[in-house]
């Protein structure tokens, strides 16, 4: 091992494509004392044997932006550094060998357009023209993505390092990191056999070893490996270097040209998990045995698609390790456990696709304190510590690989790792027909079967459970519905300085009376929405903060990282202590009055207040808020009393035709009512003024709050984007999310949430409109369309919610 320096400004641990991209971007961003430590040799982990396709077509705007950045970077690196990368922009064809796949690709093509990708649907004749060796007999069409390409992963790493070295970055091979020095939750150094390097910042980019390396610092990086295979053939007549890559998802296959032959890879339906113990210790360039039996079904599919493969010789069989995450997206960002220690790993067989982009985005995050784009989809803080158990990872991860090529039907759920995080009401709800869906590990009722359960045939349009969803929605609007909202994250903030702290952190006025309730955004310095919370003052020095089910780690981290040393504050996650039973609808008051001695009238229990109440045998906190737009209360019931309270409600509810309702009904209710959802409609890159929730910002409160200056500046200017509600003209269109919005024929934004709106009798959406004039008058003069599945549909745009715009119903 070369001599190591005593200190560095930043240490990058692991020299695969991600680590190389990081040092390149850090050097370009002006960091000087940069050190990359690689245990073996650059690229010798997973990167060297990557198929290195750079498919820009991705399912979320974040992933698409990272991929697009990578493609552009790889295309320019050779020019910049003089080091060849092997980049070729041949484009990618995603084939549809079934009508369902064709329908799915039509949805994808529209979504891709909303991510600014250049894409189109083509027919079998054009496919045959582009790829004469393909059997197109059973093909219905394909999605053509000309900006996708392929690269040589090893040469690309070398080009990135050449660029970084020119700017002074130091790269040391054969230098394994063996531990971290941490004091008071802050990184102080990185330990190696050759000594400790003092540093305040380090990034773990150790690929599939990242969970183990992060574990040395007590940091959770939930990822797990699988075997991942492809074969390389000898040359095949007609295979030319300009052929697009092909993905035949129905056959679990992808293919690309490789030195005149084909690389044939797969995402098989029965992947093989790879516990770390099976990897040889201290070995680089690891490959596993050639498993021909495992590959055989895919090979048969490949020969069907490219008959010339039947007579081609096989040059080599690659079976390498690669890591995946619980939801198929990477893990990026500062660890919530250790200040200054970052993670960039879990690439889900797309490390070359994302590597360039992750290096760029994380560098900017580390350098400026804020990422350049909304990174929530990949934020390492979307997980809770329990998600990092080996049992959970080993069960779910093979399914993640297997689902890679499956049709992404709306509402698709994983089948593994189910039923492990249940609310106290789970059994009672299951007995009453709940069909569960999963979020943040929680099982949440999606809808309730009444009588015979409906067929679960997946669909982009109405499904078997559509009528049940409709009935639950109408029950909430017209009678009373009960929701299990337990998965909400609940944080208890206590201490002498809690009010002052919240006044500094929150944009709304937190100078609440005891039992006052307020909805508030938490902003970053640029005015972007880091979270939105419902805050209830439970006592002079005690506040209950309620946020989204997946946000407890992230929001706790944000809050704690803003604590000042002299402040008297204590933050505890009390999510598991309380069940939350939502009761909403015009008869919610009647129902609650039947089971509780409290007075639920407007005079005694006004909107946005809370009260400790007796309900059944329990004492609970009732909070009068509404996410459905209807009169309603959320009951925070100590977990052990939840079932008896629920039973009392269920028993009394028959009088008002009470329905149990699921998250699908809550979704359609809230979108009709125009309520924003963090992580969908709002996030760190949009401000409350743009999002139309300026009512939740109190510019007049005496305390300065984070983001105030930025919002004041924005208030003086014309907005350049706005979040609007849209209602479709036709009742036959079913949008989901991310569809492009057109204004007077020109694409101007995209849908952030959509649902069928059962009150409106047609689909309803929230979506962004960007442009020079987004004031009410000019919006009113424009005509709007939304593109769903490659067809545009007229919609009416509303600045206010299409249902109950004045919010009278919830004020009861």
Ligand X SMILES: Cc1cc2nc3c(=O)[nH]c(=O)nc-3n(C[C@H](O)[C@H](O)[C@H](O)COP(=O)(O)OP(=O)(O)OC[C@H]3O[C@@H](n4cnc5c(N)ncnc54)[C@H](O)[C@@H]3O)c2cc1C
Q: What is the contact surface with ligand X in residues (CB under 6 A)?
A: 13-19, 37-40, 44-47, 49-53, 176-177, 205-207, 209, 213, 228-230, 265, 318, 320, 322, 345, 347, 349-353
Cβ-based nearer residue to ligand X, 44 or 551: 44
Distance of CA 530 to the CA centre of its chain: 15
- Minimum distance between the CB of residue 212 and ligand X, rounded to whole angstroms? 7
- Minimum distance between the CB of residue 352 and ligand X, rounded to whole angstroms? 3
Cβ-based nearer residue to ligand X, 209 or 627: 209
Dihedral sign of CA atoms 21, 375, 181, 7 in order = positive
**In sequence order, what are the beta bridge partners of 198?**
7, 189
- Minimum distance between the CB of residue 92 and ligand X, rounded to whole angstroms? 10
Cβ-based nearer residue to ligand X, 38 or 630: 38
Cβ-based nearer residue to ligand X, 231 or 623: 231
- Minimum distance between the CB of residue 178 and ligand X, rounded to whole angstroms? 7
Q: Which of 665, 138, 666, 103 is nearest to 408 (CA)?
A: 103
d(CA 549, CA 545): 12
Place of tokens 């790879």: 274
Cβ-based nearer residue to ligand X, 44 or 552: 44
- Minimum distance between the CB of residue 229 and ligand X, rounded to whole angstroms? 6
- Minimum distance between the CB of residue 263 and ligand X, rounded to whole angstroms? 9
**Pair of tokens at residue 84:** 């060849």
**Pair of tokens at residue 804:** 């109950």
Q: Helix 153-166 to helix 61-81 angle, to the nearest 10 degrees?
A: 70
- Is residue 611 exposed (0-12), middle (13-18) or buried (19+ Cβ within 10 Å)? middle
Cβ-based nearer residue to ligand X, 8 or 425: 8
- Minimum distance between the CB of residue 16 and ligand X, rounded to whole angstroms? 2
- Minimum distance between the CB of residue 369 and ligand X, rounded to whole angstroms? 24
DSSP letters, 680-742, are TTB-TTS-HHHHT-GGG--TTSSS--TTHHHHHHHHHS--SEEEEEEEES-TT----S--EEE
d(CA 90, CA 245): 7
- Residue pair 323/225 in contact (Cβ under 8 Å)? The answer is yes
Cβ-based nearer residue to ligand X, 320 or 548: 320
d(CA 552, CA 561): 14
Cβ-based nearer residue to ligand X, 12 or 591: 12
Cβ-based nearer residue to ligand X, 142 or 176: 176
DSSP letters, 621-637, are EEE---SSSSSEEEEEE
CA distances from residue 768 to 372, 720, 755 in whole angstroms, order as listed: 19, 10, 16
Residues 6+ apart with CB under 8 A from 151: 52, 54, 74, 85, 86, 87, 88, 352
- Minimum distance between the CB of residue 335 and ligand X, rounded to whole angstroms? 16
Q: Which of 304, 233, 230, 232 is nearest to 268 (CA)?
A: 230
Cβ-based nearer residue to ligand X, 319 or 547: 319
- Minimum distance between the CB of residue 410 and ligand X, rounded to whole angstroms? 26
d(CA 259, CA 252): 23
């Amino acid at each position: 091992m070369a001599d190591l320096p005593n200190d560095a400004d930043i240490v990058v641990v692991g020299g695969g494509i991600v680590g190389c991209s990081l040092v390149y971007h850090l050097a370009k961003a002006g960091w000087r004392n940069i050190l990359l430590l690689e245990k073996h040799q650059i690229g010798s982990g997973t990167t060297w044997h990557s198929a290195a396709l750079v498919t820009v077509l991705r399912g979320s705007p974040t992933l698409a932006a990272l991929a697009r950045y990578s493609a552009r970077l790889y295309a320019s690196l050779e020019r910049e550094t003089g080091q060849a990368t092997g980049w070729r922009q041949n484009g990618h064809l995603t084939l549809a060998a079934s009508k369902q796949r064709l329908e799915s690709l039509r949805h994808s093509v529209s979504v891709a357009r909303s991510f600014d990708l250049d894409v189109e649907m083509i027919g079998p004749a054009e496919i045959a023209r582009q790829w004469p060796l393909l059997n197109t007999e059973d093909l219905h069409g394909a999605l053509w993505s000309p900006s996708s390409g392929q690269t040589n992963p090893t040469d690309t790493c070398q080009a990135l390092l050449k660029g970084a070295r020119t700017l002074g970055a130091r790269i040391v091979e054969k230098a394994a990191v063996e531990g971290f020095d941490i004091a008071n939750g802050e990184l102080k150094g990185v330990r190696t056999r050759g000594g400790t390097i003092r540093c305040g910042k380090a990034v773990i980019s150790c690929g599939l070893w990242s969970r183990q390396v992060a574990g040395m610092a007590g940091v959770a990086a939930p990822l797990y490996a699988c075997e991942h295979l492809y074969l390389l053939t000898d040359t095949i007549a007609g295979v030319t270097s300009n052929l697009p890559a092909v993905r035949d998802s129905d056959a679990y296959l992808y293919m690309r040209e490789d030195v005149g032959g084909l690389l044939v890879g797969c995402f098989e339906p029965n992947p093989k998990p790879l516990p770390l113990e099976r990897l040889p210790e201290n070995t680089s360039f690891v490959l596993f045995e050639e498993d021909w039996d495992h590959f055989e079904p895919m090979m048969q599919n490949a020969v069907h698609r490219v008959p010339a493969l039947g007579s081609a010789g096989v040059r080599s069989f690659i079976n390498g390790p690669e890591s995946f995450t619980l939801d198929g997206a990477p893990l990026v960002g500062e660890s919530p456990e250790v200040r200054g220690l970052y993670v960039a790993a879990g690439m889900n067989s797309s490390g070359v696709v994302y590597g360039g982009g992750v290096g760029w985005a994380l560098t900017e995050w580390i350098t400026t304190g804020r990422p350049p784009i909304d990174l929530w989809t990949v934020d390492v803080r979307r997980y809770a510590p329990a998600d990092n158990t080996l049992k959970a990872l080993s069960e779910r991860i093979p399914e993640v690989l297997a689902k890679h090529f499956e049709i992404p039907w709306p509402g698709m759920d994983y089948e593994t790792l189910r039923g492990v995080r249940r609310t106290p009401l789970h059994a009672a709800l299951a007995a009453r027909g709940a069909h569960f869906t999963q979020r943040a590990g929680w099982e949440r009722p999606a809808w309730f079967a009444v009588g015979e359960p409906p067929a679960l045939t997946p669909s982009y349009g109405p499904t078997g459970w559509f009528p049940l969803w409709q009935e639950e929605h109408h029950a909430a609007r017209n009678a009373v519905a009960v929701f299990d909202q337990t998965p909400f994250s609940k944080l208890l903030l206590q201490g002498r300085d809690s009010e002052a702290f919240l006044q500094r952190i929150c944009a709304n006025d937190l100078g609440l009376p005891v039992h006052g309730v307020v909805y508030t955004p938490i902003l970053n310095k640029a005015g972007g929405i880091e979270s939105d919370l419902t805050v209830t003052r439970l006592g002079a020095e005690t506040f209950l903060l309620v946020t989204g089910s997946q946000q407890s780690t992230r929001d706790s981290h944000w809050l704690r990282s803003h604590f000042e040393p002299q402040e008297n504050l204590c933050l505890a996650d009390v999510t598991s202590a309380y069940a939350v039973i939502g009761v909403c609808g015009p008869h919610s008051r009647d129902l609650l009055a039947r089971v509780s001695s409290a007075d639920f009238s407007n005079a005694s229990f006004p909107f946005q207040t809370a009260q400790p109440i007796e309900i059944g045998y329990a004492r609970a906190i009732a909070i009068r808020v509404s996410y459905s737009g209807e009169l309603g209360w959320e009951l925070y019931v100590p977990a052990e009393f939840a079932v008896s309270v629920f039973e009392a409600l269920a028993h009394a509810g028959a009088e008002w035709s009470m329905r149990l309702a699921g998250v699908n009904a809550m979704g359609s209710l809230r979108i009709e009512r125009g309520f924003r959802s963090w992580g969908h409609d709002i996030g760190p890159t949009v401000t409350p003024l743009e999002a139309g929730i300026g009512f939740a910002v109190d510019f007049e409160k005496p305390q300065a709050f984070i983001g105030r200056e930025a919002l004041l500046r924005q208030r003086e200017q014309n907005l350049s984007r706005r979040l609007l509600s849209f209602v479709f003209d036709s009742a036959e269109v079913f949008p989901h999310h991310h569809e492009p919005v057109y204004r007077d024929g020109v694409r101007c934004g995209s849908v952030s949430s959509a649902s069928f709106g059962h009150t409106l009798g047609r689909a309803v959406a929230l979506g962004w409109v960007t442009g020079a004039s987004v004031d009410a008058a000019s919006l009113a003069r424009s005509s709007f369309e939304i593109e769903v599945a490659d067809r545009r549909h007229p919609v009416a745009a509303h600045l206010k919610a299409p249902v109950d715009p004045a919010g009278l119903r919830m004020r009861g």
